[in-house]
């Protein structure tokens, strides 16, 4: 269904027609399908928020929340910031939207343990977002991959939401990490640091001009 609608939505977003509020019914349905089928279309979602901006009477808080949550599934890309920038102060201050922003802030600060605790308390917020938890785990693994050389297995499990041993092994295998028993070897971070040789070229004419200026 998502693939079928993608072409339809792409045609709606061409030219001046992308600012037609009558397209919102189709676009909002497309947002729902993205949530149901774990697909993602940033351009279409930004178009929805832009139409809400131009046509405040059409604004739908539940749709906006779904768009923001889908943006979080694409971390570490800056989609969430783009989507949030299209909301005015009153919309951002909405209690429901603030719940999503709170989750985003914790992810931005890499407070993963607190994030999973809050998510458990607000499970209804992401109830209709297929694959949300695993998308966040991909982001956690991205952060772990660039931050750690070795990490305790219990700590990694906690960062991933206190997952089962079987699921932990799956994530370790997925990213090519090495299970060391009580710990997990991520990578030798020193090998990732690349030195760069910088060569500066100064022509004789440039030096002569500077010397002439100093002697004058």
Instruction: Answer yes or no: is pLDDT of 207 > 70.
Output: no
What's the pTM?
0.85
* Residue that the structure tokens 């609608």 belong to: 5
Q: Which residues pair with 185 in a beta bridge?
A: 150, 178
**What band does 17 get if pLDDT is binned at 50, 70 and 90?**
confident
User: Do residues 44 and 36 make contact, with C-beta atoms less than 8 angstroms apart?
Assistant: no
Specify the higher pLDDT residue, 12 or 178.
178
Q: For residue 178, report the phi and psi dihedrals to the nearest 5 degrees.
A: -115, 120
């Amino acid at each position: 269904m998502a693939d079928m609608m993608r072409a339809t939505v792409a045609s709606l977003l061409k030219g001046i027609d992308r600012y037609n509020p009558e397209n919102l019914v189709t676009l909002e349905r497309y947002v729902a399908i993205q949530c149901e089928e774990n697909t993602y279309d940033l351009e279409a979602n930004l178009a929805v928020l832009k139409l809400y901006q131009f046509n405040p009477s059409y604004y739908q808080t539940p749709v906006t929340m779904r768009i923001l949550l889908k943006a979080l599934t694409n971390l570490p890309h800056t989609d969430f910031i783009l989507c949030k920038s299209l909301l005015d102060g009153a919309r951002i201050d909405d209690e429901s939207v603030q719940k999503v922003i709170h989750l985003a802030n914790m992810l931005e600060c890499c407070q993963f343990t607190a994030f999973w605790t809050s998510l458990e308390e607000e499970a209804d917020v992401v109830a209709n977002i297929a694959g949300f938890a695993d998308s966040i785990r991909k982001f956690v693994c991205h952060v772990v991959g660039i931050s750690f050389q070795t990490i305790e297995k219990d700590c990694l499990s906690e960062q991933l939401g206190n997952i089962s041993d079987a699921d932990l092994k799956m994530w370790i295998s997925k990213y090519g990490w090495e299970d060391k028993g009580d710990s997990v070897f991520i990578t030798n971070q020193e090998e990732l640091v690349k030195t760069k040789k910088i060569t500066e070229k100064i022509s004789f004419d440039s030096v002569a001009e500077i010397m002439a200026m100093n002697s004058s």
